[in-house]
Chain A
Amino acid sequence: MPDHSDGAVRTRRRDLLLGATSLLGGTALFAGGVRAEDAKIKMRIGWWGSDDRHQRTLKLIKLWESRKPGAVMTAEYGGLIGYSDKISTEFAGRNAPDVLQISDNRESLIAAGRLLRLDDYIASGQLNLSDANRSVLETLKVDGKLYSIPWGLACGCFFLDATVFGDLGVALPGPNWTWDEYAEIARKISKAAPKGLYGSADIWAPAGTRAFYPFEFFLRQRGKTAFTPLGKLNFGASELTEWFTFWDDLRRAGAVPPAEVTALENGFETSPIITGRAAMYPINSSIASSLQGLTKHKLIVMPLPHGLGSKALPGPQYGPFVNTNMQIYVNADTKYKTQAVQFLDDITNDPEFGKIQLMSRGVPLSSKIAAMEMPDIAPIEQSMVDMVQFVQTHATSQYVAWPKSGSQIQDLMQRAHQEIAFGQAKIPNTVSKFFDEAGLIID
Chain B
Amino acid sequence: MTPSSISEMTRELRRRRVRQWRGVLLHAVLLGGAFCMIYPLLWMIGSSFKPDSEIFTQLNPIPKSLDSINYARGWVLGTGVSFTTFYINSMIVCAGAIIGNLISCSFAAYAFARINFRFRRIWFAVMLGTMMLPFHVTIVPQYIIFHTLNWTNTFLPLIVPKFFAVDAFFIFLMVQFIRGIPVELEEAAMIDGCGRFGMFTRIILPLIKPALVTTTIFTFIWTWNDFFSQLLYLNTQDKYTISLGLRQFLDSSGVSSWGPMFAMTTLSLVPVVVVFIFFQKRLVDGIATTGLKG
Contacts and interface: CB of A to CB of B under 8 A. Distances in A.
Interface in A256-287: 267-270, 274-276, 284, 286-287
A79 B236 contact: no
B134 interface: no
A268 B144 contact: no
A176 interface: no
Contacts of A313: none
Contact of B258 (A53, A79, A269): A269
A54 B79 contact: yes
Contacts of A92: 140, 143-144
Interface string B140-180: 10011001000010000000000000000000000000000
Given A50-B248, A55-B79, A75 B254 contact: no
A50 B254 contact: yes
Contacts of B254: 49-50, 52-53, 286-287, 289-290, 360-361
B139, B152, B248, B249, most chain A CB atoms within 10 A? B248
Contact of B251 (A80, A95, A275, A276): A80
Interface stretch (A81-89, A304-312, A366-374, A386-394): A81-89
B52, B77, B79, most chain A CB atoms within 10 A? B79
A398 interface: no
Instruction: Place the interface of chain A in its size category.
Output: 35 or more
A295 B78 CA distance: 23
Contacts of A289: 254-255
B227 A82 contact: yes
B255 A293 contact: yes
A443 interface: no
Nearest to A289: B255
A48, A79, A275, A286, most chain B CB atoms within 10 A? A79
Contact of B249 (A79, A295, A326): A79
A93 interface: yes
A373 B228 CA distance: 38
A8 interface: no
A289 B251 CA distance: 12
B57 A325 contact: no
Nearest to B235: A76
B232 interface: yes
A48 B251 contact: yes
A92 B146 CA distance: 13
B56 A275 contact: yes
Given A82-B231, A95-B147, A268 B252 contact: yes
A82 B250 CA distance: 11
Given A74-B236, A92-B140, A326 B152 contact: no
Given A89-B140, A274-B56, A296-B53, A52 B235 contact: no
Given A276-B57, A293-B52, A49 B236 contact: no
A168 interface: no
B280 interface: no
Interface in A296-340: 296, 325-326
Contacts of B248: 50-51, 54, 78-79
Interface in B46-73: 52-53, 55-57
B253 interface: yes
Interface in B255-270: 255-258
B108 interface: no
A51 B253 contact: no
B252 A267 contact: yes
A294 B258 CA distance: 10
B237 interface: yes
B242 to A, nearest CB: 13
A116 interface: no
Contact of A269 (B144, B152, B256): B256
A79 B77 CA distance: 13
B208 interface: no
B114 to A, nearest CB: 40
Nearest to A271: B56
B202 interface: no
Interface string A341-370: 000000000000000000011000000000
Contacts of A290: 251, 253-256
Contacts of A325: 253
Contacts of A51: 77-79, 248-249, 255, 257
Nearest to B240: A78
Given A54-B79, A55-B79, A75 B236 contact: yes
B256 A78 contact: no
A122 interface: no
A361 B79 CA distance: 17
Contacts of B250: 50, 79-81
11 contacts: A50-B249, A50-B250, A52-B78, A78-B231, A82-B227, A82-B228, A93-B147, A95-B152, A290-B255, A294-B56, A295-B57
Given A269-B256, A293-B255, 11 more contacts: A74-B236, A78-B240, A85-B231, A85-B232, A86-B231, A93-B143, A93-B147, A275-B56, A276-B57, A284-B253, A361-B254
Interface of B: 52-53, 55-57, 77-79, 139-140, 143-144, 147, 152, 227-228, 231-232, 235-237, 240, 244, 247-258
Interface of A: 44, 48-55, 58, 74-82, 85-86, 89-90, 92-95, 267-270, 274-276, 284, 286-287, 289-290, 293-296, 325-326, 360-361
